[in-house]
Amino acid sequence: MRIRREVLGDAHVDRAEAARTAFDSGFQDLITEGAWGTLWARRTISHRERSMLTIALLAATKNFDELAMHIRATANTGASRTDVEDALLHVAIYAGVPAANRAFSIAKSVFAEMDAGGES
Protein backbone atom coordinates (compact mmCIF):
# COMPACT_ATOMS: atom_id res chain seq x y z
CA MET A 1 0.00 0.00 0.00
CA ARG A 2 2.91 2.32 0.71
CA ILE A 3 4.25 1.99 -2.85
CA ARG A 4 0.75 2.27 -4.34
CA ARG A 5 0.36 5.57 -2.48
CA GLU A 6 3.87 6.74 -3.52
CA VAL A 7 3.12 6.12 -7.20
CA LEU A 8 -0.57 6.94 -7.56
CA GLY A 9 -0.91 9.45 -4.74
CA ASP A 10 -2.99 9.44 -1.58
CA ALA A 11 -6.07 11.01 -3.20
CA HIS A 12 -6.34 8.28 -5.84
CA VAL A 13 -5.78 5.45 -3.37
CA ASP A 14 -8.22 6.97 -0.87
CA ARG A 15 -10.91 7.14 -3.59
CA ALA A 16 -10.21 3.53 -4.62
CA GLU A 17 -10.37 2.31 -1.03
CA ALA A 18 -13.60 4.24 -0.37
CA ALA A 19 -15.14 2.55 -3.43
CA ARG A 20 -14.11 -0.94 -2.24
CA THR A 21 -17.03 -3.31 -1.70
CA ALA A 22 -17.36 -6.86 -0.41
CA PHE A 23 -17.68 -7.96 -4.04
CA ASP A 24 -14.35 -6.53 -5.24
CA SER A 25 -12.38 -6.61 -1.98
CA GLY A 26 -10.45 -9.75 -2.98
CA PHE A 27 -9.58 -8.21 -6.34
CA GLN A 28 -8.38 -5.01 -4.65
CA ASP A 29 -6.18 -7.10 -2.35
CA LEU A 30 -4.82 -9.03 -5.36
CA ILE A 31 -3.77 -5.94 -7.30
CA THR A 32 -2.39 -4.21 -4.21
CA GLU A 33 -0.25 -7.22 -3.32
CA GLY A 34 0.65 -8.31 -6.86
CA ALA A 35 1.20 -5.03 -8.63
CA TRP A 36 2.29 -2.76 -5.79
CA GLY A 37 3.64 -5.16 -3.17
CA THR A 38 5.56 -7.36 -5.59
CA LEU A 39 6.18 -5.85 -9.03
CA TRP A 40 6.50 -2.15 -8.17
CA ALA A 41 8.43 -3.06 -4.98
CA ARG A 42 11.25 -4.67 -6.95
CA ARG A 43 14.46 -2.64 -6.91
CA THR A 44 15.80 -3.90 -10.26
CA ILE A 45 14.62 -0.81 -12.12
CA SER A 46 13.50 2.62 -10.93
CA HIS A 47 9.92 3.78 -10.56
CA ARG A 48 10.61 6.12 -13.48
CA GLU A 49 11.58 3.23 -15.74
CA ARG A 50 8.70 1.06 -14.50
CA SER A 51 6.34 3.97 -15.15
CA MET A 52 7.55 4.25 -18.75
CA LEU A 53 7.15 0.50 -19.27
CA THR A 54 3.67 0.55 -17.80
CA ILE A 55 2.59 3.47 -19.98
CA ALA A 56 3.91 1.78 -23.12
CA LEU A 57 2.28 -1.55 -22.25
CA LEU A 58 -1.07 0.01 -21.40
CA ALA A 59 -1.06 1.99 -24.64
CA ALA A 60 0.03 -1.00 -26.73
CA THR A 61 -2.73 -3.16 -25.25
CA LYS A 62 -5.27 -0.33 -25.55
CA ASN A 63 -6.02 -0.18 -21.84
CA PHE A 64 -6.70 3.52 -22.10
CA ASP A 65 -8.60 3.98 -18.80
CA GLU A 66 -5.58 2.73 -16.85
CA LEU A 67 -3.27 4.75 -19.11
CA ALA A 68 -4.62 8.10 -17.91
CA MET A 69 -4.07 7.06 -14.29
CA HIS A 70 -0.45 6.11 -14.95
CA ILE A 71 0.23 9.30 -16.90
CA ARG A 72 -0.99 11.24 -13.86
CA ALA A 73 1.33 9.11 -11.71
CA THR A 74 4.38 10.44 -13.59
CA ALA A 75 4.19 13.40 -11.21
CA ASN A 76 5.26 10.91 -8.52
CA THR A 77 7.48 8.49 -10.45
CA GLY A 78 9.91 10.96 -11.99
CA ALA A 79 9.02 10.06 -15.58
CA SER A 80 9.12 13.27 -17.60
CA ARG A 81 6.87 14.26 -20.45
CA THR A 82 9.74 13.48 -22.79
CA ASP A 83 9.91 9.99 -21.25
CA VAL A 84 6.19 9.54 -21.93
CA GLU A 85 6.63 10.80 -25.48
CA ASP A 86 9.47 8.34 -26.10
CA ALA A 87 7.45 5.46 -24.63
CA LEU A 88 4.52 6.31 -26.90
CA LEU A 89 6.78 6.63 -29.95
CA HIS A 90 7.86 3.04 -29.25
CA VAL A 91 4.20 2.07 -29.14
CA ALA A 92 3.66 3.63 -32.57
CA ILE A 93 6.43 1.59 -34.16
CA TYR A 94 6.03 -1.70 -32.29
CA ALA A 95 2.30 -1.83 -31.54
CA GLY A 96 0.68 0.44 -34.10
CA VAL A 97 -0.01 4.04 -34.91
CA PRO A 98 -3.72 3.97 -33.96
CA ALA A 99 -2.94 2.87 -30.39
CA ALA A 100 -0.20 5.49 -30.09
CA ASN A 101 -2.43 8.17 -31.59
CA ARG A 102 -5.11 7.54 -28.95
CA ALA A 103 -2.47 7.36 -26.20
CA PHE A 104 -0.93 10.70 -27.27
CA SER A 105 -4.41 12.24 -27.18
CA ILE A 106 -4.98 10.94 -23.65
CA ALA A 107 -1.54 12.10 -22.52
CA LYS A 108 -2.11 15.61 -23.90
CA SER A 109 -5.45 15.82 -22.11
CA VAL A 110 -4.04 14.54 -18.80
CA PHE A 111 -1.03 16.86 -18.96
CA ALA A 112 -3.36 19.82 -19.70
CA GLU A 113 -5.42 18.88 -16.60
CA MET A 114 -2.28 18.63 -14.54
CA ASP A 115 -1.03 22.00 -15.78
CA ALA A 116 -4.37 23.57 -14.89
CA GLY A 117 -4.14 22.07 -11.41
CA GLY A 118 -7.16 19.86 -12.02
CA GLU A 119 -7.68 16.31 -11.01
CA SER A 120 -10.09 13.87 -12.58
Domain carrying residue 104? 45-120
| DSSP 8-state symbol, 36 | I
Cβ atoms within 10 Å, residue 51: 24
pTM of this structure: 0.91
Decide: helix, strand or coil at residue 110: helix
* Residue 75's CATH number: 1.20.1290.10
Both 73 and 86 in one domain: the answer is yes
The residue type at 68: A
pLDDT at residue number 10: 96
Both 56 and 92 in one domain: the answer is yes
pLDDT at residue number 53: 98
Both 19 and 31 in one domain: the answer is yes
pLDDT at residue number 120: 45
Residue range 55-66, pLDDT digits in tens: 999 999 999 999
d(CA 85, CA 51): 12
Both 7 and 57 in one domain: the answer is no
Give me the mean pLDDT over the 37-51 stretch: 97
